[in-house]
Structure 1
């Protein structure tokens, strides 16, 4: 017993225990800036260890709903985090918009003039068009909505190459598995992709805004850094990173 007390006392003298990692599930459109966001957060909270997974928001929704131990969800829409809150799998009080997404038509193929907008997809030489999965990826839903608005969905649907998420849709264009893709502005504006191919910003007239939402999950309620990270996304430092990477910003509300 005496030996155990000595060990415990020595542990206390050695300093606080290493904090558990903050587990963040981030939408794929954040792939090119999430590490920069995490680094900026660590400047404010030096003891923080942030572990990030990127993927389709709908897939993360299903995983968190069924008990996946992510502490924070950064969704590419507000619907999935709102639904998690209604299901009791996340804290509604922590829900906040952190970015506004935009979609672009993007190509590496010099034969196609994307300045024509979506109408270029009527070109019979266009054999494959990449989008994210409309069932699970908010940017895929936005792509479908834009095609339906412009009366192109039926004509383009047989030629679609569906990515699990927006990052995979962009990869299809990069690798030549699709001649054009409807991807996020954040993808083509990221430092890694800047200057690669040509893109045209798709008008958002008549389309619902791609408002992206962050929320602390039920698992994150016991991780003090979770709510702090969500609040950090509204900070000037985080907003500057997001804006530099092609995102629009919701009104500041800290």
Structure 2
């Protein structure tokens, strides 16, 4: 993972936005004024984005979104994105997870002496190209999608990962049930395309209905854990399930 330079900018601030002018070394937070026609919730969202250190890092380091740091942090702990691995990213837009995977599995062959991996991004919508990633516009629920993916990969996958979320209904429990169902669907797809010993990673929302998902995964993987990486916002019910050691 690339590190942000630590030198001062001409404005007297470091690239992470910290003031070095001698005024107590305080972080300067951006305040967004409410504009006519803009909802208060939109103003709050914009202000949170402008002050989010992960958003700033993503911009500085060339990632398409702050979500890239979630998969980075998960991989730092569980080491599933290894050089030479074949990776499938379901619902991959905007592409931050694919960008991370390209670097970690050495898809561009930039790390000499290391195996070269493959990254396959699948999404319903068309996306801007990502160097080292093969992108396909596909519904993974379509009949034959699993065989198509294995054909593109030239075999089975070592990792299937998903940062997908169902459209928000505004009702917390409904959203929880929807994403659990989506995760279970992604898991069944993973069962069809994963190599023995492979890994499945997916986003879920806490809410009490995770039991069926846990039971499903424990039947097919040797280890299943739930993790909330530091990049997940503290006020979010989001967490990630990491299932390793696919039994086939």
Do both proteins adopt the same fold according to a TM-score greater than 0.5, normalized to the shorter chain?
A: no
Higher relative contact order (CA 8 A, sep 6+): 1
- The structure that has the greater radius of gyration is 1
Compare the two structures and name the one with the higher helix fraction: 1
What TM-score do you get using the length of structure 1 for normalisation?
A: 0.29
Question: TM-score normalized by structure 2?
Answer: 0.29
